Amino acid sequence: MAEGPHRFGPHPIIGRFACSPSPGERAEIEALAAEIRRADPGLDATEVFGAGVTTGLADWPTLHIHTVDKPLQGGSPVMREHRALLLARDDDMAVIARPSSDFVRYCRDDLGLGRVEVLVPSSWRHRGRLAVRVLQDETLCRRVARLAGIAGGLNVVPYQATGGVWALASRTHRLAGVPVHVGAPPPKLAAAVNNKIWFSTWVARLLGNRALPPTTSASSWAHLADRVRRLAHRNGRVGIKLPSAAGSAGNLVLDSKEILAFTSLRDLRAHLRELFLGLGWTEPFPTLVSVWEDSVLRSPSLQGWIPHPDEGPPILEGVFDQSVTGPTGRFVGCAPTSLPKDVQDRIAAEGARILLLFQHLGWYGRCSLDTILIGDAFDSADLHWVECNGRWGGTSIPMTLVNRLTGNWAHRPFVTVGGLFPEGGQHFGELLRDARSRLFDRDVGRGLVLLSPGPRETGTGFMALWIGGSIEEARVELARYLNDVNRRQRLHPRGPFQPRLHPRRGPRDRRSPAG
């Protein structure tokens, strides 16, 4: 795969691995892609949005929109649209429902990321679905179209490709009469790749069943109870996952002893219904069911960028170690991996095949793959692929930001932390004031970067990273900063906006991560 620096629209992309599937593997990938297309001919269809709306990125201004069109069942949309400012540059636009003026100034003046026009939709219907809200705001639609017309074209970069995002791109094209590129895949393909059942099915076909934890799916309560009990007989814990939920948000982990304590499938079904009802999972099927691994050595994530085929093969940007916590493996941070090179190369080689398959299906843009290493030692560990994040997220955004700030994250390693809630719920201006002496210094190339406004403004928790001369330096300095914050106001790992999962928790060490 392509090494070295690249630029796609506003994004600096730097390849880290030079690995290419063999001719035999390429032929297998092409055949599998053809099979998937035959089963779903409209997987990459975009014609309904107009001939002037296509995947890609060009040298035009960009509309950044971190929309969540389909929030998790039983929960409110997670408002993280301020993250768009970390990717935006001069003359770009970012849609933010409730902008923090302090955070906007911080990104512009302290980080020097550029002057970005913040667009605030007037409609309050469809909370979280920013693309839909912009479509309902005629004044805002015409503002976007006017700027696109002046520039001769527009990029639209979403958090995740959705029908609403593509519809907004289509409306802009019709109003402005200029081409619009979406820096993300077709919406139906995006939904498929982000679906855990779809992903596990085709990864197993491509790499073999060994590439996954023992995994199945259930389409009814009876089916679910049977699948759960079968796995419980042979494993310590069983994981149930909503297939389209991001990360750990749709995970439920059950202890096998608790499952096997039910003597009848009928009683087990009733128990599962009660658990799902408590989580607000009213429409759970189909549901993925898998072994929840205990002997997890590490939770690496492979970050990738998939260009158009005529622009080259998928670009592998790096392997990162994920920090996870809680019974469901909630993501709380990342850092460049410390895995041995041969293990990284193995992850890259298998990941390259998966990303090449997606490219053959019509994918464009950001795509990361989550894995777990299972066993007693890295050289003999099993590598399991547990989830695809076909969207921007908690690793790809910081990675890209550090590239923007330093030129190359590999020369200035960083460590991130997230999901912490200060007890007092500070506003961003207060967080900024308290951290002033530690903030990132461009001249030195080190320091603290705040990644989100205060929890009182977003309800998403505190997120930050530290850029250092080494990973160890970054860890130490970030820990010192967090200790100082904790002394002023206690930090909680769970906020009031996150649903509490199954109360009967299993062992708390060596958990499987979010999948």
DSSP assignment string, 419-480: EEEETT---HHHHHHHTGGGB-BTTTTBEEEE-S--HHHHSS-EEEEEE-SSHHHHHHHHHH
Check whether 482 has a pLDDT greater than 80. yes
Predicted pLDDT of residue 514: 38
Beta 300-306 vs 315-325: how paired, if at all? antiparallel
pLDDT at 70: 56
Q: Is 510 left (phi over 0), alpha (psi -120 to 50) or beta?
A: left
| Whole-number pLDDT of residue 428 | 86
Q: C-alpha distances in angstroms, 297 versus 69, 231, 368, 416? A: 35, 22, 20, 20
Give the per-residue pLDDT at 212.
96
Indicate whether 510 pLDDT > 50: no
Percent of the chain beyond pLDDT 70?
Answer: 88
Torsion of CA 28, 31, 35, 37, to 10 degrees: 110
User: CA triplet 443, 466, 411: central angle to 5 degrees?
Assistant: 60
Tell me which residue of 476, 412, 475 sits closest to 441, measured CA to CA.
Answer: 412
Average pLDDT rounded to a whole number, residues 396-408: 97
- Extract the runs of DSSP E, i.e. beta strands, from 90-130: 93-95, 117-119
Instruction: Please tell me whether the peptide bond between 398 and the residue prior to it is cis, using omega within 30 degrees of 0.
Output: no
In which band, very low, low, confident or very high, does the pLDDT at 509 lie, cut at 50, 70 and 90?
Answer: very low
Which is it for strands 215-218 and 180-182: parallel, antiparallel or unpaired?
A: unpaired
Exposed / middle / buried, residue 275 (Cβ in 10 Å: 0-12, 13-18, 19+): middle
181-228 pLDDT, tens digit each: 999 999 999 999 999 999 999 999 999 999 999 999 999 999 999 999
pLDDT at 325: 77
Q: What is the mean pLDDT of residues 59-79?
A: 70
Query: What pLDDT sits at residue 511?
Result: 39
- pLDDT value of residue 110: 96
Report CA dihedral (254, 260, 261, 265) to the nearest 10 degrees: 100
Q: How far apart are CA 189 and CA 191, in angstroms?
A: 5
Predicted pLDDT at 439: 97
Q: Which residue has the tokens 């970005």?
A: 116
The owner of tokens 């990104």 is 107
The pLDDT assigned to 459 comes to 60
- Integer CA distances (angstroms), 458 to 67, 148, 473, in order: 14, 29, 30
Statement: residue 493 has pLDDT above 70: no
Q: 3-state SS of the chain: helix, strand, coil percent to 5?
A: 40, 25, 40
Per DSSP, the residues of 483-503 read HHHHHHS-EESS-TTSPP--S
Question: At residue 31, does pLDDT exceed 60?
Answer: yes
State whether residue 65 is helix, strand or coil. strand
Which has the minimum average pLDDT: 405-419, 434-448, 492-506?
492-506
pLDDT in tens, 103-133: 999 999 999 999 999 999 987 665 658 999 9
Nearest to 347 by CA among 337, 362, 357: 337
Position 151 pLDDT exceeds 60? yes
pLDDT at 508: 33
pLDDT number for residue 502: 30
- The residue type of 231 is L
Q: What is the pTM of this model?
A: 0.91
Q: What is the pLDDT of residue 500?
A: 28
Residue 495's pLDDT band (cuts 50, 70, 90): very low
Average pLDDT taken over every residue of the chain: 89
